[in-house]
Structure 1
Amino acid sequence: MSQSILLKNGMLLLHKPGDVVSPVKADPLIVQDRINKVGEVLDAPYEDTKVVDCSKKIISPGFLKGRHSDDPLLDYLPTENMQGYFYDLEDVYWGQLDVGITYVVDHAYMNYPPESGINGISATKSPGIRAFFCYCATSRFMSRSPLKKDDEIFLLELDWFSMPKQVVVDLFNKARRWGVKNITAHYTKGPYSAKQILESYGLLGADLLSSHSNAADHDDALLLKRHNAYILCTPKIEMQMAIGEPLAFHEDFSSICSLGIDCHSNNSSDMMTQMRLALQSARARFSQPFLDQGIIPRKLKALVQGVFSLGTIQENEIGSIATGKLADLVIFKTTSPSMVFAAQGNPLTAIAMYPSVRDFDMVIVNGKIRKENEFWFHVGRMQSATHSQGNRR
């Protein structure tokens, strides 16, 4: 029995040289976990190939969410910041599941009891999405010693750069020695540059993902580019929390930026909202100097093409629709009032500017249909702490 899917009659958003995205009427054939072929009017190669009619639908590369977490708001700090202590293990599990994203960097702030990490990993794996699970050392870090040798630890979330140098150095070295693939950290306004501190400690590397970084300057940009390190930009939470303008289209940082969502209890969890906010905030920043002089700008600097690539992250294995790439795809309906006319005029703009979560029709990850017609498929739950050790309050 073959594992193959043929998506017929849809409009594909294809990346071409120079990061140019063009809508093309074509049929992608998925075999196993890869895009086997993209062509016009393809026929099903096997009797058991699942054929999906994508008429009046747009097929996009899957979206990468560079940051997924629960961040504190100012009024929230004294009353709600410790609410995580009151969540049981079942809460942790269901709080992780989401829709419309095929790749996520998950900041696991809920590691209060040791078992919560098991449920967090279970929820991250259950929908079949690609994910980095960032084990966050909480305020109980020193007493609980959460970093023990564990093959399930792939990332570490850490913000304690104000600790003594040797503590920071030892922790980074230990994480890397154990094979932690990426280390995520916040960087906002403050009396020091976390990036320059890490550089002075000899710790800055390509495995560091810096959330926000609105206070970063030109020197920080040079450091990050030198080490091939990246920034996670979360426009809505950054503008709300007054930590500075998003860097997604900043001249110094646009080439090393990705997009994320951050706090799901504060804003919607879809990538299109963040794409629109990043785009429009960049346009406002670009236009303001002209408006201050009484001049109307003749053109826009930040374009839909750029923000679409930010949301999908065109890489070697994922992020675009091409033969040989991993089959991570999102299919949008175009018949809702918000989409119907935009999709006919410009499918790329329709995806970047107009949809809501109701317009998701299908999500394919690794060649498997994970969501179709608002239902999850192939979602298998790991053995979790909820069942093995019981709920903890």
Structure 2
Amino acid sequence: MKKTLIKGGTILPITKNQPSHYQADLLIEGTKISKIESSIDIEDAEVIDASDMIVMPGFIDTHRHTWESMIRNIGADWSLQTYLGTIYYGGIGSQRRPQDDYIGNLFGALEALDAGVTTILDWTMINSIEHAEESIRGLQDSGIRAVFAYGAPGDGEYWNNDSTLIHTKDAKRIQSEHFTSTDQLLTLGLAIRGPEFSAWDTAVTEINTAREMDILATMHLGFGTWGRTAHSIERLDDADLLGKDLNFTHMNRVTDEAMKRIAAKGGSISVTPEVEMMMGHGYPATGLALENGVKPTLGVDVVTSTGGDMFAQMKFALQAERARVNERFLDEGTMPGPDLHISAQQILEFSTIEGAKALLLDHKVGSLEVGKEADLILLNKRDLNLSPITDPIGAVVQTAHTGNVDSVFVAGKAVKRNGKLLFGNLDALREQLYDAQAHVLAHTKTT
């Protein structure tokens, strides 16, 4: 069993029963954290000097369309309507070949790992069983931990609120072939259209199917012009369908009552603040959730329009929420203060342990605790933007960036060390990515 001793780091455990940060050694044995103590001496371990490092849980991204790495930054000026019309409904997404999904998922996952994101929910729109197989293979080859959320094709016949088409048959086959154990890096979820993008009975059927399969169901819900009038959460609650195994993405324009019902009955919220503010989903629901008893989580969503790291999402979520409340004070003729409305510590929790809870993985990851899987990252405190460290939590949330990520471990295995991904032959694989990009663009109206 391989042993790795991370010595003398500034530990950010992200747990309720310990200080927010302290100096300690951390021992990894096999896939798990076996010890966190002030000093650990062991002879048969690889030793990493972390005296100049912040050691923290890997980031958890609860909503990402991973394949879109092949068309990175194509939509810097796109609204939500432009994005949907260009990517789906017969657009770029429908032109993908199975091999395109492999390379898109591989590079999308590697981008996440390079940025210190050790777990993602890959929200998919699967065109065929072959596409699913290749998407899974791309995630597996990257070494990331992921929830592979199996979704319906992006065709318009599936994505409308009258659609009665069901897409779960192949998901059950995928489960039987690839997800026979929960003790693996990849777990299965169901990406459903939900009551705002399919018929009500279809949404109910797909939720019940996910529960029969004992997996998470995730859906886009509660945003845009329809978000406040659809009352989808209330309808789900009235039908006794809410629960912790449902994940709702965006939720920008739902009511306070809807959030209160989630707080009472369960469910998780994925806020993707940068894309939401840009594209027109609505104002990020961070504060709306918190004020009604729900702790949100964070996601990147689409790298067509933003970068694939969580540092940016933490800043957007934090400052957007602070600005919302500060403006309220100013409108009332009062200066904000003495403390700001939301803390850096809270945002870091949304990006780690709360994300793990949302993905039903908090028994494995999301915090640094003995017995949990060793999904962790090291940030270099000697980098100019982090030196000297005064407040480690504030430094991670407010000033750190992807260039500070020195090392990344997933289930005890190093996937990045000394600032470099440990993944060979990237140049050759990059040619496949370019080919995928050229193929999908050549067959769509964007060319």
TM-score, normalised to structure 1's length? 0.86
**Selected match of 1:158 from 192, 195, 201:** 192
Contact 1:232 1:257 survives alignment (8 Å): yes
Kept in 2: contact 1:236–1:277 (CA 8 A): yes
Q: Residue type matched to 1:247 in 2?
A: A
Q: 1:267 — aligned with what?
A: 306
Report whether the alignment pairs 1:308 with 2:348: yes
The reply on whether 1:136 has 2:151 as its aligned counterpart is yes
Cα distance in structure 2, aligned partners of 1:355 and 1:301: 21
Q: 2:183 maps to what in 1?
A: none
2-side partners of 1:212 and 1:143: how far apart? 24
* 1:177 and 2:186 correspond: no
Corresponding residue for residue 277 of structure 1: 316
- Structure 1 position 143, deviation (Å): 7.4
Which residue number corresponds to residue 59 of structure 1? Answer: 55
Cross-structure match for 1:6: 5
Moved more, 348-357 or 157-166: 157-166
Q: How does 1:18-37 map to 2 (within 5 A)?
A: 21-22=20-21, 24-37=22-35
Other-structure match for 2:370:
323
Residue identity in the other structure for 1:176? R
Q: CA deviation at 1:52?
A: 1.0
- Say whether 1:115 aligns with 2:137: no
Q: CA RMSD in A?
A: 2.8
> Residues of 1 paired with 2:335 and 2:17: CA distance?
29
Once residues 106 and 29 of structure 1 are traced to their aligned partners in structure 2, the CA distance between those partners, rounded to angstroms, is 30
TM-superposed CA distance for 1:246, in Å, is: 1.6
Deviation at 1:159, TM superposition (A): 2.2
Q: Give the Cα separation in 1 of the matches to 2:40 and 2:215.
A: 43
Query: Shift of the alpha carbon at 1:40?
Result: 2.3
**1:345 to partner: Cα distance:** 1.6
Query: Which amino acid in the other structure matches residue 170 of structure 1?
Result: T
Aligned equivalents of 2:283 and 2:411: distance in 1? Answer: 35
Task: Report if aligned partners of 2:295, 2:350 keep a CA contact under 8 Å in 1.
Answer: no
Distance in 2, matches of 1:187 and 1:278, equals 18
Deviates more, 1:181-190 or 1:298-307: 181-190
Pair 1:117–1:253, CA change in 2 (3 A): farther
Matched, 1:94 2:109: no
Match of 1:188 among 197, 205, 223: 223
Letter in 1 for 2:133: I
Identity %: 26
- After superposition, the Cα gap between the structure-2 partners of 1:285 and 1:363, relative to the gap in structure 1 and judged at 3 Å, is same
Tell me the distance in 2 between the aligned counterparts of 1:145 and 1:304.
40
Give, in whole Å, the separation in 1 of the partners of 2:241 and 2:305: 33
1:358 to 388, 403, 412: 403
Q: Which SS does the other structure have where 2:415 is aligned?
A: strand
Structure 2: gaps (5+ residues)? 69-74, 159-163, 180-187, 355-361, 425-435, 441-447
**Structure with greater helix share of residues:** 2
- CA contact 2:7–2:24 (8 Å) conserved in 1: yes
What corresponds to 2:169 in structure 1? 147
Counterpart secondary structure, 2:315: helix
What SS does structure 2 have at the residue aligned with 1:296?
A: coil
Alignment CA distance shift 1:224-1:20 (3 Å) = farther
Please state whether the residue corresponding to 1:102 is helix, strand or coil: strand
Q: What's 2:445 paired with? A: none
Deviations 1:84-107 (A, max 9, x none): 223333332222223221111110
Q: Please, which moves more after superposition, 267-276 or 123-132? A: 123-132
Q: Which runs of 5+ in 1 are unaligned?
A: 380-390
What is the identity, as a one-letter code, of the residue corresponding to 1:301?
A: H
Is the contact between residue 80 and residue 280 of structure 2 (CA under 8 Å) also seen in structure 1?
no
SS in 2 for 1:263: coil
Query: Structure 1 residue 132: deviation in Å?
Result: 1.0
Q: Could you tell me how far 1:327 is from its partner in structure 2?
A: 1.3
Kindly state the Cα deviation for residue 187 of structure 1 after the two structures are TM-superposed.
Answer: 2.6
For the residue of structure 1 that corresponds to 2:287, the secondary structure is: coil
* Pairing 1:126–2:127 present: no
Whether the aligned pair in 1 keeps the contact of 2:375 and 2:411 (CA below 8 Å) is yes
The SS at the match of 1:249 is helix
Q: Distance in 1 between matches of 2:411 and 2:268?
A: 25
SS at the partner of 1:133?
strand
Q: Could you tell me how far apart the structure 1 residues matched to 2:138 and 2:23 are?
A: 36
Distance 1:352 1:322 in 2: 21
Question: Which residues in structure 2 correspond to 1:237-256 (within 5 Å)?
Answer: 237-250=275-288, 251-253=290-292, 255-256=294-295
What is aligned with 1:234? 272
Ranges of 4+ aligned residues in structure 1 off by more than 6 Å: none
Corresponding residue for residue 386 of structure 1 = none
Q: Structure 1 residues 268 and 29, CA, compared in 2 at 3 Å: closer, same or farther?
A: same
- Cα distance between partner residues in 1 of 2:404 and 2:274: 21
